Amino acid sequence: MAQFRPQAISMTRESIRDYEVERYGVKSEFKTERFKTYAELKKALPRILSEHIGDTPVTTIRSRRGHWGEWFEKWIILDGKPTIIKKGWQ
């Protein structure tokens, strides 16, 4: 089983600016942050959601113990707190 670090994919003003000015190595307007554990990602999620701009929700990707593949969750702020709107295997 491939274990990889949990990551959050979001769009920020800085990531869009870097993409528009064609900064070296930037191929997308989305920013990817990697964390050691899912608990660390969940602690940083309110900050990530507050920095996020755009119509798309913030996506988190992680592996789950004992399973193959990648588990994804799509997050938005609903009533002032982070909420999952969609989740599943990809």
- Written in H, E and C, the secondary structure of 17-81 is HHHHCCCCCCCCCCEEEECCCHHHHHHHHHHHHHHCCCCCCEEEEECCCCCCCCEEEEEEEECCE
Judged against a pLDDT cut of 70, whether residue 3 lies above it is answered with no
Judged against a pLDDT cut of 50, whether residue 76 lies above it is answered with yes
Q: Looking at 7-16, 17-26, 67-76, which range is the least confident one?
A: 17-26
Mean pLDDT computed over 51-58: 90
Mean pLDDT computed over 3-31: 86
Kindly state the tokens that stand for 69.
């593949």
Please give the model's pTM, rounded to 2 decimal places: 0.83
Domain that holds residue 72: 7-89
Q: What's the domain count of the chain?
A: 1
**Domain-located, residue 75:** yes
**Domain-located, residue 72:** yes
The residue that leads in pLDDT, 54 or 83, is 83
**Domain-located, residue 2:** no
Q: What is the pLDDT of residue 20?
A: 84
What share of the chain has pLDDT > 90, as a percent?
Answer: 56
